[in-house]
Structure 1
Amino acid sequence: MNATQIARYLARELSEDEAQTLLRWVEESPDNKRLFIQIKNAWSMASMDKVDATDVEYTRQRWQLVKRQLDQQTIRPLETTPWRWLRVAAAVLLVTGLAFLAYFNQNRLQPEISYQIVETPAGKRSRIVLPDQSVVWLNARSKLRYPTRFDSRKREVKLEGEAFFEVQSSPDKPFFVQTDRTTVRVTGTAFNVYAYPSESEQRVILVRGQVAVSHAGSRHFSILKPGFSATVRKTSDPIVIQAVDATEHTGWTTGKLEFKHLAFEDIARRLERTFNIHIIFSNPKYRQETFSGSFDENEPLEEILQVIQASSDFEYSIRKDTLLIR
């Protein structure tokens, strides 16, 4: 146990278990308790002095205040305390000083980080330039949350829905995309993430570069190569890696609706987001019928349905914002 841990405790940065461990250590010996009380008193008294927390000299000023309080606490005992306690007091002062200096250097107040949230409605897509100049295309009914500036260690964004990323290369500052079930780690690359929370599968499709994919919160990553996808289902299920046609999954960035041997219910979800319509299957047998096609998003919905209908026997009707497949 050291003075840095005590400083973190006083700053309320220890977990409950860490705090309990520290308090048990304090009770183990009079010396431990004396050190704890000495640092606590110095902390309390120094915090009452006025220090400009926005000044670059903040760390030095705060330590000088703590040192001054420790000096004041040790002046009186010097007259009567045995010489061995002089050495203890000097050691406490030195160790505490170094600990506080390191602690406040690491935790010097930074400008507060604010976040930007972009939400794209049905039938629309957005182009976003991140603080590091990476570019994100956000698909319909999707949401992206990102900081107005990235910290010095990593770049991280949170996604609900679908987005295509072109990430600026920075090997020393990895880029993370977080969804409710998936973590994608990259350094510089282009890839698509499909992660609508209401759907059972989330997919990452790599166009170029390299990415690592894992279940959210896991440290076990699967590496993707260009032209491959990673499908994430439940946390207990393994991540499925397979070869894909990337253009089929990224055509939406240029206004294309492309699908190859895709189930009608999956096509329906894409049509819902593109045309802002609710699709109901009154006859469930059509849900798993597969279709292939390539359409422009500006084509009328009924023309797309008529092309799909040419290879099936389903009927449909449209009433206001609802499409019924029967």
Structure 2
Amino acid sequence: MMDKSHISKAELWAYISKTADPDTIRKVELWKDSSEYDKELFSQITAIYLNTKEYPVSVEDAKNRFLRYPRNTKQKTVSKVYKLLKYAAMIAIIVTAAYTYQQFSESTSQLISEETSFGENKQLKLPDGSVVWLNASTLLTYKGNTPRTISLEGEAFFEVAKDTAHPFTVTTSDGLKIEALGTSFNVKSYSNTSIVETKLLTGKVAITSDKYLKERVLLAPDEKVIFDRNSKQFFKQDMVKREGRIAWREGKIEFENQSFREIANDLYVQYQVKLVFKNDEVANSKFTGVFDKNTPIREILEILKTSKEFDYHLITATDEWVIK
């Protein structure tokens, strides 16, 4: 005859959770029909299982923690119930902690997005203490648990908090990666333009690209690097004094010896107006100037005309300015 006092908590858990093998099922059912059957113990383990099986986390560790405690069947019922309640409380704490940890892990790994619309600027502080200014029509994304790994579409200025153990990186849609430590720099990477531009004000950055660069490009303060999307070439240059101001942060539109076509892209992200060129000579003409962001587009065009003669008119139906 089998010794029913050898029924273990592990066997009861397996039976209640429907994971027991045929021999264990038979053993538990014989025990339930015997004088050794402990109804309170069976009910407690059943209640614990029913209250933990719906959690979206594994309760295996909780179960094992529970099953490690020895059971003395000779103790008084009050003592036995007290211990079972204590163990049940421990399992509830373990399961709740596991669930909370999972929820926290999911929230910290979620993708966080910061975005600006046409003509809008925004300043934000990242969890690592770095400060970012977003220019108009810009999208910045990062995961909550890696705020020093940034993806950028548009233009942003960064003041990076120092953390030598965790480099700060900004990646563009072209796969260009700008890596910095304690640094202030500007990255311009709009999808509708032919260039990606990085300007360094303080500190040091390295630009890398698995696709376009064999060696990294290092920048010192007051230097910039331009990546031409058409030619796939990089050009490293010294910045002129005025470029170090990052005019858009001051609410201005500034261009230094830029083609009219390039200026048109800047006007689009600020005003959401499209300039259509019917004259390549005019489109490639270069201009230097600075305007407040609230300057009407017609006024900007009139001022540019003083340097290069051209005609323009607005097509109201499509909200396009035709330049010829």
The one-letter amino acid of 1:316's match is: Y
Is structure 2 residue 209 aligned with structure 1 residue 209?
Answer: no
**Counterparts of 1:1-326 in structure 2 under 5 Å?**
61=61, 111-112=105-106, 113-150=109-146, 155-181=148-174, 182-216=176-210, 220-234=215-229, 237-245=232-240, 247-248=242-243, 250-320=246-316, 321-326=319-324
Q: What 5-or-longer segments of structure 1 have no aligned partner?
A: 1-49, 69-107
8 Å contact from structure 1 (residues 207, 226) kept in 2: yes
Map Cα deviations across residues 162-219 of structure 1 (whole Å, 9 max, x no partner).
1111111111111110112210011111101011123222111001111000125667
8 Å contact from structure 1 (residues 259, 294) kept in 2: yes
Change (3 A) 1:248 1:289: same
TM-score of the superposed pair, with normalisation by structure 1: 0.63
The one-letter amino acid of 2:127's match is: P
The one-letter amino acid of 2:205's match is: V
Local SS of the residue matching 1:131: coil
Local SS of the residue matching 1:123: coil
Query: For the residues of structure 2 that align with 1:252 and 1:246, how far apart are their CA atoms?
Result: 15
Local SS of the residue matching 1:265: helix
Equivalent residues, number: 231
8 Å contact from structure 1 (residues 117, 145) kept in 2: yes
Q: Displacement, 1:222?
A: 1.0
Change (3 A) 1:128 1:159: same
Q: What percentage of aligned pairs have identical amino acids? A: 32
Local SS of the residue matching 1:294: strand
8 Å contact from structure 1 (residues 214, 222) kept in 2: yes
8 Å contact from structure 2 (residues 192, 265) kept in 1: no
Query: For the residues of structure 2 that align with 1:162 and 1:317, how far apart are their CA atoms?
Result: 29
The one-letter amino acid of 2:306's match is: A
TM-score of the superposed pair, with normalisation by structure 2: 0.64
Query: For the residues of structure 2 that align with 1:245 and 1:256, how far apart are their CA atoms?
Result: 17
Query: For the residues of structure 1 that align with 2:272 and 2:229, how far apart are their CA atoms?
Result: 28
Query: For the residues of structure 2 that align with 1:267 and 1:183, how far apart are their CA atoms?
Result: 25
Query: For the residues of structure 1 that align with 2:125 and 2:178, how far apart are their CA atoms?
Result: 19
Q: Displacement, 1:119?
A: 2.1
Q: Displacement, 1:147?
A: 1.9
